[in-house]
Amino acid sequence: MRLAKVAGPVLRRLPAETAHRAAINALKFSPPSRPQPADPRLAVEILGLRFPNPLGLAAGFDKNAEVPDAMLKLGFGFVEVGTLTPRPQDGNARPRLFRLPEDAAVINRFGFNNDGFERARARLLRRSSGGAAGRIGVNVGANRDAADRVEDYVLGVRTFAALADYLTINISSPNTPGLRDLQRRDALDDLVARVVAARDETEPRRPLLLKIAPDLDARGLEDIVATALIRRVDGLIISNTTVARPASLSSRNRAESGGLSGRPLFEPSTRLLARAYLLTGGAMPLIGCGGVEDAATALAKIEAGANLVQLYTGLALKGAGLVEEILDGLKRAVEERGVKRIGELVGARASAWAGREPASANEAALARAKG
């Protein structure tokens, strides 16, 4: 942790993608020591799995499964690697990662740059059986030039079922042309039917999650939830980055194309999360992602309906100490609310969050245009 505190200010002076690569290399060659013992009050049991705490690292940081155990040793309860595609691909041209420090945000247009399934699979196979405590998820996508994108997802399930604790199907990145079209009901039904069939043929049978976009209207969310329930998807991750640009953005990089993450994503993604929780009656496991930057925002996701929460941008902007800070805050919340486990707070404020109005005129205009 001391190395992380020293390295953080240095990394923030580097170009964003260079800093990201440097952070991965530092974790490979000088991994953190093990975190403090897990607090049983923060343990979560969903998807047939036990998570030592509800805080996870979202896909995008460790794209190629290079440092999952190092990140677990920072204190995360789970780490999601990827997004991975069957064949390696370079992604979009640089620069493609932009900090918006005045807005506590980041814009990326990576385009699924990654080393491909086989190299990531080899790294996961090399993990020692005595690795760090916590769960590993694998997030899979489709190559940009795939003849059959659904088959890419099917191959991802078959490739990683024996190595992951759960699998995520990423159909919501805004940086691969046409990918979000897979969220439309007919296309989604075909994709999910084929992917679930592949999952059901694998041993062991892993939980399967869908990662969806925040830029969905009410009908779009209802279609996704209905398809997920009918086709026996195990859970949803809400949400990916947004293509919206709130009027409140002030950074000089605000007009860059790509997916916006960080603080401006918090309110829209949390509203969508709460609406999904109410649509499912709390029966489907949900992972809340988007704008988690402290204990208060992590707790808000849980009270909106998330069983687990993920972060990435907050970590990039604030550093590794954020993990311990959030976990300490969640412990205090358990104590202050007089409950025995963090899971008792799931959905406590879902109705309030679901009924919130868009936070900005720009967001309101987007909602009106879609509705």
The set of catalytic residues is 173
- DSSP readout, 259-296? EEEEHHHHHHHHHHHHHHHHHHTT-S-EEEES---SHH
Burial class (CB in 10 A: 0-12, 13-18, 19+), 10: exposed
Residue 71 · residue 23 · CB < 8 Å: no
Residue 327 · residue 42 · CB < 8 Å: yes
Radius of gyration of the chain (CA): 19
CA distances from 18 to 14, 30, 95, 226 (A): 6, 18, 10, 41
Residue 299 · residue 289 · CB < 8 Å: no
Residue 86 · residue 156 · CB < 8 Å: yes
> In angstroms, rounded to a whole number, what is the distance separating the alpha carbons of residues 249 and 104?
10
Alpha helices in the chain (DSSP H): 2-11, 16-29, 68-73, 117-125, 149-160, 185-201, 218-230, 263-280, 295-304, 313-318, 321-337, 350-354, 361-370
- Calculated CA dihedral for residues 263, 268, 271, 272, nearest 10 degrees: -120
Three-state SS for 106? strand
Q: In angstroms, how far is CA 6 from the centroid of its own chain?
A: 27
> In angstroms, rounded to a whole number, what is the distance separating the alpha carbons of residues 40 and 42?
5
> In angstroms, rounded to a whole number, what is the distance separating the alpha carbons of residues 75 and 88?
30
- Calculated CA dihedral for residues 99, 75, 269, 184, nearest 10 degrees: 100
Q: Tokens 């204990």 correspond to what residue?
A: 295
